[in-house]
Amino acid sequence: MTDRAPVARAGRPRVAAVVGVVGELVITLGVLLGLFVVWQLWWTDVLGERTQAQAIASLDWDPRPLPPAGDEPTATATPHREPAPVLDEPASGTTFATMVVPRWGSAVLPISQGTSTDVLDVLGVGHYDGTAMPGQVGNFSVAGHRVTHGKPFNRIEEIQVGDPLVVRTEDLWFVYRVTSTEVVRPVDVEVIAPVPGEPGVSPTEAQMTMTTCHPMYSARERYVVHARLDYWLPAAEGTPVELEPALGST
C-alpha cells in the first residue's frame, strides 16, 4: 500500500493540468464563438447597410421619392395599366432598380441582378435570374436576407394582403399589391415560377414575389410574399400616391 501512494500523488497534478488546459480551451472557444456572433449579427449589418447605400448612391438617377414642397401635396400622375416598357435583364451584380415597402417606412432598398451570396451578402435584394423584370408579364422575383448582411427583408412578416410594394427603375415606377403570403420548403421553387405555384403555365399578368429565410435565424423554410402589378407610371410624371405615408416618416 505504501508503494502506491506516491504514484497516486504524482497522478493528481497531471489531471489538474489537463483539466486546466481543457478549461482554457473551452473559455477561448467561448470567446471566439461570441466574437463570431457579434460579427455575424452586427458587423455584417454595418457592412451591408454601407454597401447598399453605396449601391444606391452609384445610380445615375435619384431613386428617392420627392417630399411635398411646403403645404403642396406630392406630385402624382394618372396610373398606367396598359403593358409597361420592360428592361432587358442586366449583368450579374448590376443594381438596376430600388424598392420601397411603405409599411416599413421610407427606406429605399437597392435591387441587383442575381441571388448568389456575392449579391445578397453585399448588395441587399437580389433578382432571380430568368424571372420577369419589373412590370413584365410573369413573376418578378426577388430575395433578401432576413437577418445579417443589412437584413433588407427583416420585417417581411409585417406585410399584409393589400399592401403596396413600390419598385423604381430609372424611368418608371411600378406599384404592386400584395395578394398572399405563405411559408414553404426551400425546395419549393415553384413559388418563383412565371405563374407562382403553377410551373409550366404561361403567365397572363405581371406579378412579384419576395422570398427570405424562415423562421428568424433559421434557413429551415422560406417566407414568401406574392403581389400583382396594380399600375405603373413614368417617373417624369410624378410619384405614386402610395409613397405619401412613407414620405411623412422621413
* pLDDT at residue 22 in the model: 60
Query: Which domains are delineated in the chain?
Result: 56-248 (2.40.260.10)
Long-range contacts from 195-204, C-beta under 8 angstroms, 24+ separation: 195/139, 196/139, 196/226, 203/132, 203/137, 203/138, 203/139, 204/137
160-204 pLDDT tens trace: 999 999 999 999 999 999 999 999 999 999 999 999 999 999 999
CA distance 84 to 87: 10
CA distance 94 to 96: 6
Q: Give backbone dihedrals phi and psi of 142, rounded to 5 degrees, phi first.
A: -135, 155
Whether 214 and 208 have beta carbons less than 8 Å apart is answered as no
83-106 pLDDT tens trace: 999 999 999 999 999 999 999 998
Check: pTM over 0.75? Answer yes or no: yes
Which residue stretches of the chain have pLDDT < 50? 31-40, 68-74, 250
Whether 240 and 100 have beta carbons less than 8 Å apart is answered as no
Task: Give me the active site residues, please.
Answer: 145, 213, 222
Among residues 60, 57, 51, 168, the alpha carbon closest in space to that of 118 is found at 51
Residue whose entry in the numeric block shows the C-alpha cell 432598398: 109
Q: Tell me the CA distances in angstroms from 239 to 134, 167, 175, 243, 250, one per residue in order.
A: 17, 11, 11, 7, 16
CA distance 152 to 148: 9
Whether 87 and 133 have beta carbons less than 8 Å apart is answered as yes
Residue whose entry in the numeric block shows the C-alpha cell 393589400: 162
* pLDDT at residue 242 in the model: 93
